[in-house]
Structure 1
Amino acid sequence: MPSPLDPIGPPSVETAAGRATMKDVADRVGVSRQLVSLVLRDLPGASPTTRQRVREAASELGYYPDTSARTLRGRRSFQLGVVFTMHEPFEVDLVEALLTEAAERGYSLVLGPLTAARPERLVVPQLMGQRIEGLIVLAADGGSSSVSDLPERIPIVQLGGPRSKGPVDDVRVDDEAGIALLVDHLVSLGHTAIAHATGGSGPNARARVEAYEAAMRRSGLLPDVVESAYTEEAGSHAAEVLLTRSELPTAVLAANDRCASGVLLTLVSRGVAVPADISVVGFDDSSVARLPFVQLTTVRHDPVRLASEALDSITARIEDPTRPTVAHRDAPSLVVRRSSGPARAGGASA
């Protein structure tokens, strides 16, 4: 059944008085405005026949419920702000999942994309001006690993991105578990020389380096860290650095899929066979990992599950601001594709 926040029908038509209104719908059906309001908010009080007639009339007229007016009249807005960028496939997947999960909980989202011309200092006040009841933070200016100067008077949840110093709810992928899955997978294929192309100063990058180093030492192997970042260009540069060595490692574990794709495509362009000469693995299972010419082994996290956890956390915080702080770590799963294979014979030693 449609949500009362969903637009109904085709683009709005113009009536004699302008844009279609609830009164126009009521006049078309021959019922009161109050009854139309009940139907469009899915409240009891109208027969099935009347409900059908009202919805058909709203569709024919292109009527859209005025949620902004309802928000201004009410004590609560049931709106949540989201700070994000449109650069990372991971964030786009999360925003899509948040939209669906929020609607199921009776909330709508006010999106605040960060750009070079729209930094946090502009985006956050704009969101606050929309009477949001909580803020979900997926990103910070410049892809930073930390975020500061967040509003103090509303609930906040950090979702998969930067961290703040304050005691706020935090939902993200279990980086340690994900990196361990990748290292263990490569070790099981006979790899002993596994390099890590880092995420630079990006969110979770430090945690992934530490997880990589710990997993390597557990397997009795020496870490090999190559500075990089969460972009294809940075991954390409990391590959060029590796190509200057007298001997390549047998595998590269990149901090995310974008970095991994840059590593992979650069190696292939230089005549290095993947995975026969070197295996390449990523992190996120983003859309780039599934491209036919990439087919990247990676770890997958469920954006729907992460979005659900974040929304459960923030809506509970709205109802009870004194509840204990949440720190949820979601376990990823290994996805094996063509970019990883057995270590080459006579590969580099640890």
Structure 2
Amino acid sequence: MISASGDGPNAKRVTLEDVAAQAGVSRALVSIVIRNAPGASAETRKRVLEAADALGYKPDMRARMLARGRSRHIGTVFGMIGLNFQFNTLLLDGLYVAAARHGYELILSAVTKSRDEIRAVETLQGFRPDAVIMVDPPNPAPVLAGKLPVVAIGWSVDDPAVDVVRTDDHMGMAQAVNYLAERGHRRIVHIDGGHGEVARARRAGYVAAMTAIGCQAQIRVISGGETQMEGYFAARALLDDPVLPTAVIAFNDEMAVAVVESLVHAGYRVPQDVSVIGWDNSALSKLPHTRLTTVAQDTEEMSRLAIERAVARIEGKPAEPREVVLRPELMIRATTGAARDE
């Protein structure tokens, strides 16, 4: 049934029957006029539209789209912990903007410690989304793959039913490691991002880059996470080691800033004693007192491509290649320099 509601949460719901009574015609004629379908005279159309306007009738567009088989909703599943760092916040904002351009609305559902991906997806299904976008969830294989269009942002998925938009984490890590190696660094430590798929990819990229420059013996990964608090704990592990590394590459900017602050509080200089590199090129990295060297990702482009692929799959249009891998860029600022003389 096509229906409408007045303004405000407590307003009386205005129905087709109300409009029909006001115009003195049948409900079927009102439906024909509202849908702009043939079958009503010009005089009847004018009377029905005037009645609808007088009553404040507004067609329920969601009901219309459901009747046509679409909800104009794109579900988005994201990790709640991940939302604590600025990259995912920018990504979600970009998704809202890109979805609106195509006439779609985002429906968000979070994965938390007490709410797994299955529960998050069940919530989305109540809104009958036309597609789902996954933003770095903990599950490497999206549960809705093959059931409706799914786009994963940030990590590689083997399933051919899932589109992927991600940054080349191996390339970004190689850029960071090679830049440090050119400045004499060999004891380069990586503070990882935990157990997620993006963290795994960056960890593997770090190991590959260190091996490529002949520093297999210097490979060291410290367990980290995504938040500044986890960065502080990781920095304590660094400071407890009798041999301080000359450089640190953190999983994201939040972690990197926490490492810088911990080193400075302990009496070390950045970058003279230890160089630090973050990841994401967030607003935090650009602050005047931070000026953090970081690996940049283009969140606007990632969001745009993800929405375009979701919409293309919804409409049955081609969207190739299935996996789009964007090139990162190392942004060199104040927290990196030559390795200290030992």
TM-score of the alignment, normalized to the shorter chain, above 0.5: yes
Q: Which residue of 1 aligns with 2:167?
A: 173
- 1:200-254 C-alpha deviation (Å, 9 max, x unpaired): 3122222212211222232232342222222323322222222223321111111
Aligned partner letter, 1:310:
A
Does the CA contact (< 8 Å) of 2:131 and 2:148 recur in 1?
A: yes
Instruction: Please state if 1:213 is matched with 2:211.
Output: no
1:151 to partner: Cα distance? 5.4
Aligned partner letter, 1:246:
P
Q: Which residue of 2 aligns with 1:75?
A: 69
- Equivalence map 1:146-295=2 (5 Å): 146-150=140-144, 152-161=146-155, 163=157, 167-222=161-216, 223-231=218-226, 232-295=228-291
CA distance 1:62–1:112, shift in 2 (3 Å): farther
1:76 to partner: Cα distance? 1.9
Please say which of residues 258-267 and 147-156 is displaced more in the overlay. Answer: 147-156
Secondary structure class of the residue paired with 1:109: strand
Identity of aligned residues (%): 36
Does the CA contact (< 8 Å) of 1:99 and 1:108 recur in 2?
A: yes
- C-alpha distance in structure 1 between counterparts of 2:8 and 2:198, whole Å: 49
- C-alpha distance in structure 1 between counterparts of 2:172 and 2:102, whole Å: 30
CA distance 1:145–1:103, shift in 2 (3 Å): same
Task: Tell me the C-alpha RMSD between the 2 structures.
Answer: 3.4
CA distance 1:37–1:341, shift in 2 (3 Å): farther
Does the CA contact (< 8 Å) of 1:137 and 1:161 recur in 2?
A: no
- C-alpha distance in structure 2 between counterparts of 1:171 and 1:62, whole Å: 43
Does the CA contact (< 8 Å) of 2:145 and 2:161 recur in 1?
A: no
Please say which of residues 74-83 and 234-243 is displaced more in the overlay. Answer: 234-243
1:83 to partner: Cα distance? 0.5
Secondary structure class of the residue paired with 1:283: strand
Q: Which residue of 2 aligns with 1:4?
A: none
- 1:146-165 C-alpha deviation (Å, 9 max, x unpaired): 34533532011111158576
Aligned partner letter, 1:204:
V
- C-alpha distance in structure 1 between counterparts of 2:265 and 2:58, whole Å: 53
Instruction: Please state if 1:330 is matched with 2:333.
Output: no
Q: Give the TM-score taking structure 2 as reference length.
A: 0.77
Does the CA contact (< 8 Å) of 1:202 and 1:230 recur in 2?
A: no
1:275 to partner: Cα distance? 0.9
Secondary structure class of the residue paired with 2:165: strand
**How many equivalent pairs are there?**
305
- C-alpha distance in structure 2 between counterparts of 1:334 and 1:65, whole Å: 50
- 1:260-295 C-alpha deviation (Å, 9 max, x unpaired): 222222111111111111011011112332334332
Q: Give the TM-score taking structure 1 as reference length.
A: 0.75
Secondary structure class of the residue paired with 2:279: coil
Structure 2: runs of 5 or more not aligned: 1-5, 23-29, 37-52
1:107 to partner: Cα distance? 1.9
